[in-house]
């Protein structure tokens, strides 16, 4: 992307193998834009921490970086699987660790960018190794839910794993079935297995949380979704459904699901757009809540200047990191 600015600040020698800069926060908060601007100051490579950008072909609706942006700054963890393939946080974290090792070996800074909190937690804290899915068990649960009601399965879950049952909605068949499936396979509640997860100590992150006011986020979400529609999102959804089927799990993602309902004649385009914007705003609220649990993060409500971020990054490793919500000097 050409020479970096003369104001670029030298990193100095790293004496720890896996120092990571993370830029996280709700959708439409400006994470990707900030990361690309930082590339003018730091020799960095970006790791996408987004549970939908892993799917090949889901480009417009996930806000995936353009090919020009990928040529300018190396990106990782994009286009890993097709929309019909199962993907999960533990798999992402394993791939992210390998990518981080290689980035550091090249003398560059790994920058984790995204809003999927579970993926970020898996990278830093690890996730328990659950047994693989058993289609026979899941089919049985689905049939039992059809004949007796999902609430019956939830009541069963209360009996074997009350901690998980308390966190799952009584009609959330997917999560209820998974928790029962793990118990049937192992004899151990999934909540107990989660407490046994081992932390990942080789990754040390300094985390910047972008957290704009909700009204600002709503406006950005609305404008961004309108731009996606203009860029051809309906055609992208139509093409993916033709290739992979309308019931592909990945195509239930925000925006894709609502436009699929439009293509099925259940919603007008205007209705689909309105529902998608509302659902995305609700998701952004949940993301804000999740990332407020990042106790040692630097939080800002508007995008900071790249130079300030670089100063903060250096201060963080010198032991002079600013307190949460403060601005670096």
**Span 63-115, pLDDT tens digits:** 999 999 999 999 999 999 999 998 888 889 889 999 999 999 999 999 999 99
Residue 259 pLDDT exceeds 90: yes
Q: At 289, phi and psi to the nearest 5? A: -60, -45
Which residues neighbour 80 within 8 Å (Cβ) at sequence distance 6 or greater? 54, 55, 56, 87, 95
- The structure's pTM equals 0.77
First to last CA, the chain: 29
Q: At 275, phi and psi to the nearest 5? A: -65, -40
Which residues neighbour 261 within 8 Å (Cβ) at sequence distance 6 or greater? 267, 272, 275
pLDDT of residue 323: 37
Q: Which two tokens stand for residue 99?
A: 């990518």
Give me the sheet containing 44-49, strands edge to edge.
75-76, 44-49, 109-114, 19-24, 204-210, 298-300
Reported as a single tens digit per residue, the pLDDT across 195-219 is 665 555 478 899 999 999 999 999 9
Residue 12 pLDDT exceeds 80: no
For residue 43, which of 304, 303, 310, 305 has the smallest C-alpha distance? 310
Domains of the chain, each with CATH number or no CATH: 19-127+198-318 (3.40.50.300), 135-195 (1.10.20.140)
21 forms beta bridges with 111, 206
pLDDT of residue 102: 94
Angle between helices 31-38 and 306-318 (to 10 degrees): 80
Reported as a single tens digit per residue, the pLDDT across 33-72 is 999 999 999 999 999 999 999 999 999 999 999 999 999 9
């Amino acid at each position: 992307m050409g020479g970096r600015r003369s104001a670029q600040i030298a990193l100095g020698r790293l004496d720890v193998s896996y120092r990571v800069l993370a830029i996280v926060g709700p959708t439409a908060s400006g994470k990707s834009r900030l990361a690309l601007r930082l590339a003018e100051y730091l020799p960095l490579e970006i790791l996408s921490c987004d549970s939908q950008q892993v799917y090949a072909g889901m480009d417009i609706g996930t806000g995936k970086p353009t090919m020009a942006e990928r040529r300018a700054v190396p990106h990782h963890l994009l286009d890993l699987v097709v929309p019909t393939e199962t993907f999960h946080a533990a798999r992402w974290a394993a791939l992210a660790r390998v990518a981080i090792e290689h980035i550091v070996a090249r003398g560059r800074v790994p920058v984790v960018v995204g809003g999927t909190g579970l993926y970020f937690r898996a990278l830093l804290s690890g996730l328990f190794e659950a047994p693989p899915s058993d289609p026979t068990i899941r089919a049985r649960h689905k049939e039992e839910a059809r004949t007796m009601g999902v609430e019956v399965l939830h009541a069963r879950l209360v009996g074997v794993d009350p901690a998980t049952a308390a966190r799952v909605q009584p009609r959330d068949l997917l999560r209820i079935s998974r928790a029962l499936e793990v118990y049937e396979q192992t004899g151990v509640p999934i909540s107990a297995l989660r407490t046994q997860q081992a932390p990942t100590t080789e990754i040390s992150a300094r985390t910047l949380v972008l957290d704009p006011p909700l009204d600002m986020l709503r406006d950005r979400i609305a404008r961004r979704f309108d731009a996606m529609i203009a860029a051809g999102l309906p055609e992208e959804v139509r093409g993916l459904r033709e290739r992979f089927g309308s019931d592909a799990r990945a195509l239930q993602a925000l925006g894709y699901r609502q436009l699929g309902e439009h293509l099925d004649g259940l919603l007008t385009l205007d209705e689909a757009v309105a529902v998608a914007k509302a659902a995305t705003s609700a998701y952004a609220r949940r993301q804000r809540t999740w990332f407020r649990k990042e106790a040692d993060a630097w939080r800002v409500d508007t995008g900071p200047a790249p130079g300030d971020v670089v100063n903060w990054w250096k201060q963080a490793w010198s032991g002079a990191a600013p307190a949460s919500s403060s601005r670096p000097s």
